[in-house]
Amino acid sequence: MKMEVLITKEKLEEIVTDLGRRITEDYRDKELVLVGVLKGGFIFLADLARKIDMDVKIDFISVSSYGNSTESSGVVRIIKDIESDVSGKHVLIVEDLIDTGLTLQYLKDLFNTKGCASVKLAAIMDKPDRRKVDLKVDYVGIEIPDEFVVGYGLDYAEKYRNLPEVYIIRET
């Protein structure tokens, strides 16, 4: 297995700081709930929350889109729902990666049925080449090539989520 750094710690920090600043400006004086998408979104959510300079609430939803396969089946299953009432609240769904877009599309539709004041999407990484649905992601950190990436929340068979940088992983 060969691993090559794609996004350094410093670059990730810069991206998250910038997104945090934009979100703070956009949601000033609004009731914002950050909804982290488990598992991959946990690192980005934790870093982003600390770059948002206002009161926020935090909740998590756990979904499974791939089952045991590495290809998206398009079927999204909720493993654990949020615990708070988000009706009337501004919701920002926080993801590590947008690939086909099926997970975020499903979540956006789901939250739109919960009576939120608004539902927006944030993803630190975007693989635009892989998109299967036309979806507007409001806050995108960085576009990446169609390679298998790990670290900063992203796994390969549940490993490597804790790596502080993002790596491209290739079989050798």
Give me the residues that bind Mg ion (CB under 5 A), please: 155
Q: Does 101 bind ligand PRP (CB under 6 A)?
A: yes
Select the residue interacting with ligand PRP from 43, 52, 61, 103 (CB under 6 A): 103
Select the residue interacting with Mn ion from 20, 40, 141, 151 (CB under 5 A): 40
DSSP 33: E
Whether residue 99 lies in the annotated active site: yes
Pick the catalytic residue: 96, 99, 129, 155? 99
Q: Which residues contact 32 (CB under 8 A, 6 or more apart)?
A: 23, 52, 54, 55, 56, 57, 89, 90, 91, 92
From the list Mn ion, ligand PRP, Mg ion, none, partner contacted by residue 99 (C-beta under 5 to 8 A by kind) = ligand PRP
Whether residue 30 has a cis bond before it, omega within 30° of 0? no
Residue 11 φ/ψ, nearest 5 degrees: -65, -45
Binding marks (x or -) toward ligand PRP, 74..93, rule CB under 6 A? Answer: --------------------
| CA separation for the pair 131, 169 (Å, rounded) | 21
| Shortest Cβ 126–Mg ion spacing (Å) | 16
Which residues have a catalytic role annotated?
Answer: 99
